[in-house]
Amino acid sequence: MTIHYTLESVQDLDRLRKFIANKSLSAANRIVSELKQEVNKLCEFPSIGIKIVSMVNSSEIRDLFIGHYTVRYLVVNDDIFILRLWHDKENERNS
């Protein structure tokens, strides 16, 4: 399986990193690194996330919860597309 980050998910990671870096640069780098490490586990366990049943084509769209963060992803054949990432305190991202 191959993981691909959409432009939106890259922007989400950057936004989260910048927000956290305002308080602690080392914490920002650590959290982004941990998120990426956990996302990489999807290569071995692509079905670990919870299916999103309220969305069109939801059979392959899932949410992975990592601490206080949610990673929304799509599984297509041997590819995993990271769609969005957000913190629990943010509004849910649906795109």
How confident is the model over 11-62, as pLDDT tens digits?
Answer: 999 999 999 999 999 999 999 999 999 999 999 999 999 988 765 655 689 9
Question: How far, in Å, CA of 23 to CA of 20, rounded?
Answer: 6
What kind and span of H or E run contains 48?
none
Which pLDDT score is estimated for 95? Answer: 42
pTM of the model: 0.87
E strand spans, the chain: 2-5, 50-51, 61-66, 69-76, 79-87
Number of Cβ atoms within 10 Å of the Cβ of 9: 21
Sketch out the chain's domains with CATH numbers.
2-87 (3.30.2310.20)
